[in-house]
């Protein structure tokens, strides 16, 4: 919403500049997106002039040489190309030195041999309107030399507000003025609808009948009739104000409806009463097959249930969204029906979305407007119709109410204010803030009884909402910064699981992986692209009832899909070497009423694992071992002991993938993506992935880390080489060593693999580093020898292994 400051200052004038006002509004909940300037940047050198003479230019058919009095001692010569310039006119003049809205600085010029000392202005040249009819002609009563800024709004600062959907009252100038009044303490002028010139008569105006057949769609419908209307241009002040607010002036009647809407926040619509077939309007729901032409000239096919206003010839207005061409106010209109109604917000939103019609009216109605706003807008528009169109108001106001907004009173307890905000705000201060915002307060035994005004009834429904109003105006930045206290009486902190989740994510970031945030939604063909067979858990999809699109119609059953989507997106834009990770939820359809949801941690590597250097011009490519290394780093950071075993999964490369276990619990998978699955995302090089069920990994992590003495009694290191069948995984060999060695084996790691004639066909030699350590003494060879014998025996008996000589 664009809010000209000059318009705001009609109702409230805080003693602060625009930037400080924007900051104050932002701190109280009304976000200011930017501050812009409408019109000329400075008003110097813009004055009112009198055209004393206008003669044909001797060398140009379309130019006139004008003599203009601008209040100086001598008139000045100005060459003008406007077709309507004439002697005797009062005009707007820009003198040399004036800076135009586009930044151009006006200077003395010579036009076809005649020196011109200024410029006679058209309205579009200073942002006061479309300016299609030549120069502006002002009131003759204005003296020559009067600063133009004293006559017309030629320069204005504009606040561009981001109004949240729950605050439609701030979509009107006076609503924002009320907020400024509360935020700054500046006096607030009475509302512009306080005096309604049409309120003195009763009954309905003659010449029109209105029937509301769909009361659920139209809580209130009001109308007034004006005769002897003269449709023409709006005055410059009105056009300038609309232009600054982002509205294009059309004619005085339409401009009045837009002006009243921007001021009150409630949309209006003007019908040419003589063009309403049958002099009868019916508010009803559309039926299938109906169509109408809206004011933008588009033929609209209506869906069943859309709300419309119809006359004897069919639909004439798309209720709450846009009027129709059949009853449009035109130059020859003399009788106007001014309609102000309240419409059902969700229906307006659905209609606007389905038809692709977005209007200022629909943007307001879809947020929910109170029925009381109808007569506020009627009062403002009625006054302007009488002043600017010469109209005569017929007695009576048609007012059909199908719903009444009952007053709502909420108790605001002093103790609750203090308890929720953590600081003491006196009752008198709470009452002062609420009254400034338009609430009515009455003292009660333990606080205040607060009556909610009509324009906030849809949002303020409970005591906590009132406390929020008090807090935001008193200053959220002034509230004490305190941490919540838990059941132990200590300040709150991250839970153990939250700490470990962050540790895992920080570990991946520390390894150089970039975090992504993918969609929780996925395409239904994700299991197919991951080669999932029938019955695979990846096919246990949670299907959305109202998806945003077909490509996002299910919840993701694995996090690898969003990693691959992001990797393919970056690869296609020239980034083949990627190291990504994501932490987020995955969903699978379970047997219970609710889906199975768990937190997953996924990583993806493709291309080189590190940048090339002079020492390493060709770094290694991402593979299964890179994925295993990342898994070891993450689980090591969580202090989770784990083992690895070979696994075959549909989307992983057979023989180049593994499963991570803590005891019998499967923590996740790692390995290279199956080439066919990788090809479904356009990859022809290896793609390494790690997929962890972070919840299970955290459950396997110790709550408390025990201290281990590593320095008092040094360890004893020995190497061991064992020959086993080449089908035996190295991890299984290390597991047997650890189990057989018992508590004295502090570390066992495979560091070399050999295959050749010396070990025989089909056999592999694995060399291991062994470290023996005791917590109470320094070990000797006699202590270690029996342990080593048990290890050798276990390797022989369980794996068929033999020591390599």
Which class in CATH covers the domain with range 207-399?
Answer: alpha beta
What pLDDT was estimated at residue 305? 87
Query: 244-295: per-residue pLDDT in tens?
Result: 999 999 999 999 999 999 999 999 999 999 999 999 999 999 998 899 999 9
pTM > 0.95: no
User: What's the CATH fold of domain 714-801?
Assistant: Alpha-Beta Plaits (3.30.70)
Average pLDDT over residues 697-723: 88
What pLDDT was estimated at residue 486? 66
What pLDDT was estimated at residue 244? 93
Decide if pLDDT at 212 tops 90: yes
Contact 282, 340 (CB under 8 A): no
Query: 35-46: per-residue pLDDT in tens?
Result: 999 999 999 999
Average pLDDT over residues 575-588: 95
- The alpha-helical segments, DSSP class H, found in 389-482 are 414-421, 427-436, 463-474
User: What's the CATH fold of domain 44-152?
Assistant: OB fold (Dihydrolipoamide Acetyltransferase, E2P) (2.40.50)
**3-class DSSP string for 69-83:** ECCCCCCEEEEECCC
* Banded pLDDT at 479 (limits 50, 70, 90): confident
Rounded to 5 degrees, what are φ and ψ at 353?
Answer: -70, -45
Looking at 647-737, which runs of residues are DSSP E strands?
Answer: 652-662, 665-673, 687-693, 716-725
* Banded pLDDT at 772 (limits 50, 70, 90): very high
Q: How many helices (H) and strands (E) does the chain have?
A: 19, 39
What pLDDT was estimated at residue 487? 67
Decide if pLDDT at 591 tops 80: no
Work out the percent of the chain whose per-residue pLDDT is above 90: 79
Contact 410, 440 (CB under 8 A): no
Average pLDDT over residues 581-592: 88
Q: What is the mean pLDDT of the chain?
A: 92
- Give strand pairing partners of 225: 337
Do the domains 44-152 and 207-399 sit in the same CATH topology, yes or no? no
Of residues 282 and 711, the one with the higher pLDDT is: 282
Query: 723-739: per-residue pLDDT in tens?
Result: 999 888 888 898 899 99
Residue 186 to residue 12: CA distance in whole angstroms: 6
What pLDDT was estimated at residue 489? 66
Average pLDDT over residues 171-184: 96
Contact 153, 167 (CB under 8 A): no
What pLDDT was estimated at residue 593? 72
Which class in CATH covers the domain with range 515-698?
Answer: alpha beta
**3-class DSSP string for 747-799:** EEEEEEEECCCCCCCCEEEEEEEEEECCCCCCCCHHHHHHHHHHHHHHHHHHH
Residue 247 to residue 158: CA distance in whole angstroms: 13
Query: 50-65: per-residue pLDDT in tens?
Result: 999 999 999 988 899 9
What pLDDT was estimated at residue 685? 94
Decide if pLDDT at 406 tops 80: no
Which class in CATH covers the domain with range 1-38+155-182?
Answer: alpha beta
Residue spans per domain, the chain: 1-38+155-182, 44-152, 207-399, 407-472, 515-698, 714-801
User: What's the CATH fold of domain 407-472?
Assistant: Phenylalanyl-tRNA Synthetase; Chain B, domain 1 (3.30.56)
The distance from CA 254 to its chain's CA centroid, rounded to whole angstroms, is 32
Q: How far is CA 481 from CA 107, 122, 423, in A?
A: 58, 56, 10
Decide if pLDDT at 621 tops 90: yes
What pLDDT was estimated at residue 548? 84
∠528-531-537 over CA atoms, to 5°? 80
């Amino acid at each position: 919403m664009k809010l000209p400051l000059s318009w705001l200052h009609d109702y409230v004038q805080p003693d602060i500049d625009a930037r400080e006002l924007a900051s104050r509004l932002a701190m109280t909940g009304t976000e200011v997106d930017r501050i812009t300037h409408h019109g000329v940047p400075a008003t110097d050198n813009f004055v009112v002039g009198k055209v004393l003479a206008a003669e044909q230019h001797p060398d140009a058919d379309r130019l006139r040489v004008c003599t203009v009095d601008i209040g100086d001692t001598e008139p000045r010569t100005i060459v003008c190309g406007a077709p309507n310039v004439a002697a005797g006119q009062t005009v707007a003049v820009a003198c040399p030195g004036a800076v135009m809205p586009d930044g151009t600085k006006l200077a003395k010029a010579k036009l076809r041999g005649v020196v011109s000392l200024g410029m006679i202005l058209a309205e579009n040249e200073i942002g006061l309107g479309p300016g299609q009819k030549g120069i502006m002609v002002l009131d003759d009563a204005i003296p020559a030399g009067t600063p133009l800024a004293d006559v017309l709004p030629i320069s204005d600062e504009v606040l561009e507000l981001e109004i949240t959907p729950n605050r439609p009252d701030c979509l009107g100038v006076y609503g924002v003025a009320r907020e400024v009044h509360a935020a700054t303490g500046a006096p607030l002028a009475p509302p512009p609808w306080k005096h309604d010139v049409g309120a003195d008569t009763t009954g309905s105006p003659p010449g029109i009948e209105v029937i509301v057949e769909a009361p659920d769609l139209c809580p209130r419908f009001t109308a007034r009739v004006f005769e002897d209307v003269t449709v023409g241009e709006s005055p410059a002040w009105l056009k300038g104000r609309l232009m600054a607010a982002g509205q294009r002036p059309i004619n005085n009647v339409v401009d009045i409806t837009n002006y009243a809407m921007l001021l009150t926040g409630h949309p209006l619509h003007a019908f040419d009463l003589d063009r309403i077939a049958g002099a009868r309007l019916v508010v009803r729901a559309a039926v299938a097959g109906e169509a109408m032409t809206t004011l933008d000239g588009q033929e609209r096919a209506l869906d069943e249930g859309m709300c419309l206003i119809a006359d004897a010839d069919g639909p004439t207005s798309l209720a709450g969204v846009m009027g129709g061409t059949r009853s449009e106010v035109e130059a020859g209109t003399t009788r106007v029906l001014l309609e102000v109604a309240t419409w059902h917000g969700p229906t307006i939103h659905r209609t606007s979305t389905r038809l692709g019609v977005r209007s200022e009216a629909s943007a307001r109605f879809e947020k929910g407007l109170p029925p009381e706003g109808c007569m506020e807008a009627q009062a403002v528009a009625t006054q302007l119709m009488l002043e600017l169109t010469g109209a005569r108001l017929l007695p009576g106001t048609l007012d059909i109410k199908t719903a009444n907004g009952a007053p709502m009173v909420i108790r605001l307890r002093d103790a609750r204010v203090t308890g929720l905000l953590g600081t003491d705000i006196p009752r008198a201060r709470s009452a002062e803030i609420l009254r400034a915002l338009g609430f009515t307060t009455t003292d009660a035994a333990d606080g205040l009884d607060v009556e909610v005004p009509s324009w906030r009834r849809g949002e303020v429904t409970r005591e906590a909402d009132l406390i929020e109003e008090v807090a935001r105006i008193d200053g959220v930045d002034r509230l004490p910064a305190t941490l919540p206290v838990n059941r132990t009486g200590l300040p709150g902190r991250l839970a153990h699981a939250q700490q470990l989740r962050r540790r895992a994510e920080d570990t991946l970031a520390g390894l150089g992986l970039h975090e992504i945030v993918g969609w929780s939604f996925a395409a239904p063909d994700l299991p197919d692209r991951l080669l999932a067979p029938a019955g695979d858990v990846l096919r246990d999809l949670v299907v959305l009832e109202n998806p945003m699109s077909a490509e996002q119609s299910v919840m993701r059953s694995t996090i690898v899909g969003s990693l691959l989507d992001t990797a393919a997106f970056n690869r296609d834009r020239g980034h083949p070497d990627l190291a990504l990770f994501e932490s987020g939820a995955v969903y699978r359809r379970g047997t219970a009423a609710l889906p199975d949801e768990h937190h997953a941690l996924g990583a993806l590597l493709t291309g080189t694992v590190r940048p090339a250097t002079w020492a390493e011009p060709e770094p290694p490519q991402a593979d299964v071992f890179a994925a295993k290394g990342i898994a070891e780093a993450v689980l090591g950071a969580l202090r989770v002991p784990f083992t690895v075993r070979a696994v075959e999964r549909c989307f992983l490369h057979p023989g180049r993938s593994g499963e991570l276990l803590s005891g019998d619990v499967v923590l996740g998978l790692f390995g290279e993506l199956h080439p066919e699955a990788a090809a479904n995302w356009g990859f022809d090089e290896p793609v390494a992935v790690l997929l962890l069920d972070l919840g299970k990994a955290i459950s396997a992590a110790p709550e408390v880390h025990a201290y281990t003495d590593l320095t008092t009694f040094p360890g004893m290191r020995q190497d061991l080489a064992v020959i086993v069948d080449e089908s035996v995984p190295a991890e299984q060999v290390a597991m047997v060593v650890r189990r057989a060695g018992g508590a004295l084996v502090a570390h066992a790691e495979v560091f070399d693999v050999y295959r050749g004639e010396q070990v025989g066909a089909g056999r592999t030699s694995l060399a291991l580093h062994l470290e023996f350590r005791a917590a109470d003494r320094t070990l000797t060879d006699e202590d270690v020898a029996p342990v080593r014998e048990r290890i050798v025996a276990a390797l022989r008996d369980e794996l068929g292994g033999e020591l390599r000589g």
